[in-house]
């Protein structure tokens, strides 16, 4: 995943339950009735985060219990840039294991899928994959990956008891959001929680607003990648910066917004000291681990734009499992069978057994467990309704500058005006776009 704290994007890997201690490589395997003769052994390369390993172990255990003659050994790699380099090196040298887990979106495109990966477009389950996810693992019309994990949303977590007490309903427009915030402030409660002590959290009003940008300007991502559209000159894209500024200027932030960190924000929300927190849905499990009642007391709504009829959620897709072209013969058949299991309701159940999902699954027919937190349940209708969800910009454009978090802190602190912040960010992305060799820069 991307959206990385302290880096150019938001990778939740440093802020939510997906990020725990690193772990060593492990292996699991079994044999039971698949009808094949002899034994086929696969190796499955995954990230070394704790939840990655738990997911992989559970998937391997449940799959091999039903498939004789197939054993799967799990191998781990580091996260971040080091892990990226390992994936690229092993693909280029023909040394990639039979199955591996990696990013989706622009980072997926960077590993030359047409050259290095086995197309899965002929597999019957491809039609059950969520379109948002499918778009992030497609190159030249061919689908190459299956999802592992659930979606995450860039949204607003809100305190349900406060909303009920004040007679509020989740807003579908920015005007409604600000009106709700005014009523919350009048009740003596902090309307909007901000935690600029961890600067990555300041980006949500911009990055989580991309569904609204795409709804207003469907070709924005394409033009942005070609240097034909900019945040400072696109009325729709500028609004994320304007909203960041508006919340500050209205006095809706918590008094300690400049120094507060993620745990402080989660505490405020869970305990009713604050009513609304723009953040990634992936932090919900962290909050509930400390404040169990938040499972039922905290809900989620999409960042609202100007048009209620186009209200929808910006989503970050899960990573994916792929098969390199060096996998052939019986190993290829076994690897395809394993991916088919992952992209099935049984595969989703297996993942749910390994840990609470961060959001709805990217496979149609996969239901969330009944006991998932309310905030995670609230994401499902957006994904079920056509046109009510959009991929975050980083999945549809490789252009992302390193300084967005610092710029949004400045705008949200009253140090820099929205238009100035947007213009500065437009300059910030230029160097990266030139390093990528993108046309038009």
Q: Which two tokens stand for residue 85?
A: 């380099």
Closest CA to 428 of 203, 262, 254, 242: 203
Alpha-carbon distances, residue 216 vs 393, 395, 419 (angstroms): 14, 18, 19
Q: Which two tokens stand for residue 56?
A: 């992989």
Alpha-carbon distances, residue 370 vs 180, 343, 357 (angstroms): 30, 20, 11
Q: Which two tokens stand for residue 260?
A: 């507060």
pLDDT on residue 332 = 98
pLDDT on residue 31 = 35
Alpha-carbon distances, residue 413 vs 246, 258, 383, 395 (angstroms): 10, 7, 33, 28
Lookup result for tokens 């005007």:
175
DSSP 355-416: S--SS-BSBTT-PPPTTS-HHHHTTHHHHHSTTSEEE-HHHH-----TTHHHHHHHHHTTSS
- Number of C-beta neighbours around residue 16 at 10 A: 23
pLDDT on residue 3 = 56
Lookup result for tokens 């772990």:
23
Closest CA to 25 of 86, 85, 68: 86
Taking only the tens of pLDDT, the chain with its 441 residues reads 355 443 333 434 333 322 222 333 334 333 333 334 469 999 999 999 888 999 999 999 999 999 989 999 999 999 888 999 999 999 999 999 999 999 999 889 989 999 999 999 999 999 999 999 999 999 999 999 999 999 999 999 999 999 999 999 999 999 999 999 999 999 999 999 999 999 999 999 999 999 999 999 999 999 999 999 999 999 999 999 999 999 999 999 999 999 999 999 999 999 999 999 999 999 998 899 999 999 999 999 999 999 999 999 999 999 999 999 999 999 999 999 999 999 999 999 999 999 888 899 999 999 999 999 999 999 999 999 999 999 999 999 999 889 999 999 999 999 999 999 999 999 999 988 998 899 999
Lookup result for tokens 């995450």:
152
Alpha-carbon distances, residue 440 vs 20, 226, 347, 434, 436 (angstroms): 41, 5, 43, 9, 11
Closest CA to 220 of 208, 236, 239: 236
Alpha-carbon distances, residue 382 vs 14, 59, 173, 184, 236 (angstroms): 26, 27, 15, 26, 21
pLDDT on residue 18 = 27
pLDDT digits (tens, 9 = 90+) for 213-245: 999 999 999 999 999 999 999 999 999 999 999
Lookup result for tokens 């698949």:
34
Separation between Cα atoms, residue 194 and residue 274, nearest integer Å = 10
pLDDT on residue 2 = 52
CA-CA-CA-CA torsion sign (222, 223, 226, 231):
negative
pLDDT on residue 376 = 96
Q: Where are the alpha helices (DSSP H) in 11-49?
A: none
């Amino acid at each position: 995943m991307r959206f990385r704290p302290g880096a150019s994007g938001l990778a939740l890997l440093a802020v939510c339950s997906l990020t725990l201690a690193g772990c060593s490589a492990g292996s699991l395997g079994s044999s039971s009735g698949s009808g094949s003769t002899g034994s086929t052994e696969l190796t499955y390369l995954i990230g070394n985060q704790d939840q990655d390993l738990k997911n992989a172990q559970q998937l391997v255990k449940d799959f091999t219990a039903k498939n004789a003659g197939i054993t799967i050994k799990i191998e781990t790699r580091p996260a971040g840039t080091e892990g990226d380099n390992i994936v690229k090196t092993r693909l280029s040298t023909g040394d990639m294991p039979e199955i591996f887990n990696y990013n989706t979106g622009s980072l997926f495109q960077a590993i030359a899928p047409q050259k290095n990966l086995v197309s899965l477009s002929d597999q019957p389950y491809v039609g059950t994959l969520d379109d948002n996810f499918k778009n992030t693992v497609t190159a030249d019309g061919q689908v190459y990956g299956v999802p592992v994990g659930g979606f995450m949303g860039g949204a607003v977590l809100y305190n349900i008891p406060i909303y009920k007490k004040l007679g509020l309903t989740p807003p579908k427009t920015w005007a409604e959001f600000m009106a709700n915030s005014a009523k919350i402030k009048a009740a003596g409660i902090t309307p909007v929680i901000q935690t600029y002590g961890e600067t990555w959290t300041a980006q949500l009003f911009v990055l989580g607003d991309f569904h609204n940008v795409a709804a207003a300007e469907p070709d924005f991502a394409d033009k942005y990648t070609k240097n034909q559209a900019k945040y400072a000159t696109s009325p729709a894209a500028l609004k994320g910066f304007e909203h960041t500024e508006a919340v500050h200027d209205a006095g809706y932030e918590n008094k300690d917004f400049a120094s507060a960190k993620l745990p402080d924000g989660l505490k405020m929300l869970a305990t009713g000291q604050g009513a609304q927190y723009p953040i990634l849905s992936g932090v919900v499990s962290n909050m509930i681990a400390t404040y169990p009642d938040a499972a039922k007391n905290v809900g989620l709504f999409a960042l609202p734009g100007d048009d209620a009829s186009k209200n929808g959620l910006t989503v970050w897709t899960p990573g994916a499992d792929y098969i390199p072209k060096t996998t052939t013969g019986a190993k290829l058949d076994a690897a395809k069978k394993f991916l088919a299991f992952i992209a099935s309701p049984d595969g989703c159940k297996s993942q749910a057994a390994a840990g609470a999902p961060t959001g709805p699954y990217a496979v149609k027919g996969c239901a969330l467990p009944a006991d998932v937190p309310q905030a995670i349940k609230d994401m499902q209708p957006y994904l079920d309704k056509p046109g009510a969800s959009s991929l975050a910009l980083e999945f549809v454009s490789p252009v992302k500058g390193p300084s967005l978090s610092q710029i949004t802190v400045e705008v949200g602190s009253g140090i820099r005006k929205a238009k100035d912040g947007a213009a500065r960010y437009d300059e910030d992305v230029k160097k990266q776009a030139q390093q990528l060799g993108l046309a038009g820069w």
